[in-house]
Amino acid sequence: MSRTNLQYDEAVSQCKDIFIKKTKDYGTAWRVLRTISVVDQIFIKALRIRTIQDLNTQKVGDDIPSEFKGILNYAVIGLMQLELGNPQVEELPVEKVDALYRKNIELAKNTMLDKNHDYGEAWREMSQQSFADLILMKLMRIKQILANDGKTLISEGIDANYVDIINYAVFALILIAEGKH
């Protein structure tokens, strides 16, 4: 399990580095995004991964690991937006963004640790294709929750789906780094 902890932290560290640098470049322009817009951004990236997997070729430079990193960062944005509420034109200090990022990654990592305990790291035997498909499924679930005015009868909410998306992206990045994908 300690190997997974280290690998998880390394994958997230790469994503966070990109996120904070982009925050310094662009500010917090993402604050204007409503939930459906965040979902659509993740959808575009997940569908691109699936298309590259299916065609076994690509024409745009960003590779599959870059797309998984983008998915992770947009899912963190989704969690931050749910917490902050009221999407708007708003500049947040980098320090606040950093703290929000860390808080939401901690939530995702703790969820991963709990599930790993129960599932025995089954994700290590999964394919990159499955991670892309599961991310797409989670996005479809979020869209349905939004169509239901944010209400669920028995299922987890939007936040839990974002957490799962973060963890699927991390798992894909770990397996890619191990040369398994």
Full pLDDT tens readout for the chain, 181 residues? 589 999 999 999 999 999 999 999 999 999 999 999 999 999 999 999 999 999 999 898 889 999 999 999 999 999 999 999 999 999 999 999 999 999 999 999 999 999 999 999 999 999 999 999 999 999 999 999 999 999 999 999 999 999 999 999 999 999 999 998 7
161 touches 141 (CB < 8 A): yes
Q: Are 177 and 54 in contact (CB under 8 A)?
A: no
How long a stretch of residues is the chain?
181
d(CA 151, CA 147): 9
Q: In sequence order, what are the residues at sequence separation of 6 or more whose Cβ sits closer than 8 angstroms to the Cβ of residue 72?
A: 11, 12, 15, 165, 166, 169, 170, 173
This prediction has a pTM of 0.96
Q: Which two tokens stand for residue 95?
A: 């320090």
Q: What is d(CA 6, CA 11) in angstroms, rounded to the nearest whole number?
A: 9
pLDDT at 1: 58
Q: What is the dihedral of CA 24, 29, 34, 35, to 10 degrees?
A: -20
